[in-house]
Amino acid sequence: MATIATGAERAVHDLIEEHLPLVRHVVFQVAVHFPRHVDREELATAGALGLVEAARRYDGSRGVPFDRFAAQRIRGAILDAVRAADWAPRSVRTLARKLEAVEQQLATRLGRVPTAHETAEALGMKREELSRLQDRMFRSVVLALEYEVSDDEEQLTLIDVLTDDKTPEPSEELETRELRAFLRDAVGLLPERHRLVVTGYFLEGRKSHELAVLLGVTESRISQLRSEALIMLKDGIEAQFDEGVPEEATGRVARRKAGFANAIGDASHWHDRIGERDILV
């Protein structure tokens, strides 16, 4: 009995070793449907376990070639591993199981992996519907934060490259503070009527007709003042971040724009700007 058991184990071992390349082949076929961030080595590991199961359960007397039998088991093991890590709704999982069953039936009948058109036809759906189903299945993969996303020596993980919108980088925080300070200074340097329109419309929530009554002008004039003020603010603040050598202003309009931009730059010290948190004081 010991000799028979040892011989059976040896046969299983030989089947596994002989068909290991089949795992890579199935992984290559299946992986094209998954996002790039899905670890192919993990798929191969799951596929190898499927191959081991196939070798242990294979019954040659049924007349099915082992490579065909094993390919189905390998593919099923890979899909099971991916599905275990997803949060897809139950409806998607149900469709995924139906899709897997149909594909296995087609593979057994055709003796090869079915095409997308053949699978869609067997499911009674259009090729585009099948694609949408596969997208919903494969986008639901969950990855650990320790998952490595870099092939170089840096060995970056997901936690290294994911951004946290609620916690900006120190440099971004300083840039935002300086920008807000420039905006505060620029609004304060606008001509009186332009400043009243900007503060009234954007900060106090006043309507155009209210501002028109306040300033004794028409609503169309309020709209014009608002547009002029926004252009002045945009040009004046952008000038603070212009690293080029400024050209000498020529013409009345150009001199006025340059004077406004220079006034914004001189309105406060950089140390005070990066310490600011409010838009206006």
Q: CATH classification of 171-241+249-273, choosing from 3.40.50.300, 1.10.10.10, 2.30.110.10, 3.40.710.10?
A: 1.10.10.10
Over range 133-153, report the average pLDDT: 58
Query: Looking at the domain that runs over 9-145, which CATH code has it been given?
Result: 1.10.1740.10
How many alpha carbons lie under 13 Å from residue 134 in its C-beta half-sphere?
A: 20
Q: What is the pLDDT of residues 235-268, one digit of tens each?
A: 999 888 876 545 555 678 788 888 888 898 888 8
Over range 121-134, report the average pLDDT: 85
d(CA 111, CA 92): 27
**Position 113 pLDDT exceeds 60:** yes
**Position 86 pLDDT exceeds 80:** no
**Position 150 pLDDT exceeds 80:** no
Q: What is the mean pLDDT of the chain?
A: 78
pLDDT at 148: 55
| Integer CA distances (angstroms), 24 to 19, 41, 45, 54, in order | 10, 9, 10, 15
Nearest to 122 by CA among 148, 156, 99: 99
- Judge contact between 156 and 252, C-beta under 8 A: no
Task: List, in order, residues 6 or more apart from 1 with CB less than 8 Å away.
Answer: none
> Range with the lowest mean pLDDT among 180-194, 209-223, 263-277?
263-277
pLDDT at 273: 74
Q: What is the pLDDT of residues 22-33, one digit of tens each?
A: 998 888 887 776
108-112, 171-175, 222-226 — most confident range: 222-226
- Judge contact between 185 and 268, C-beta under 8 A: yes
pLDDT at 210: 92
- Judge contact between 197 and 226, C-beta under 8 A: yes
d(CA 270, CA 230): 23
State the sign of the Cα–Cα–Cα–Cα dihedral 156, 162, 166, 169.
Answer: positive
Stated pTM of the model? 0.41
Which position has the higher pLDDT, 5 or 28? 28
% residues pLDDT > 90 (the chain) = 15
DSSP letter for each residue of 188-203: HHS-HHHHHHHIIIII
Ranges for all domains in the chain classified under CATH 1.10.10.10: 171-241+249-273
| Integer CA distances (angstroms), 125 to 97, 133, 135, 138, 236, in order | 15, 10, 15, 19, 59
Q: What is the pLDDT of residues 34-75, one digit of tens each?
A: 666 567 788 888 889 888 988 888 888 888 888 888 888 898
Residue 2 CB neighbours (<10 A): 6
Confidence tier at 161 by pLDDT (50, 70, 90):
low
Does residue 115 sit in helix, strand or coil? coil
Ranges for all domains in the chain classified under CATH 1.10.1740.10: 9-145
**Position 3 pLDDT exceeds 60:** no
% residues pLDDT > 70 (the chain) = 74
State the sign of the Cα–Cα–Cα–Cα dihedral 102, 108, 110, 114.
Answer: positive
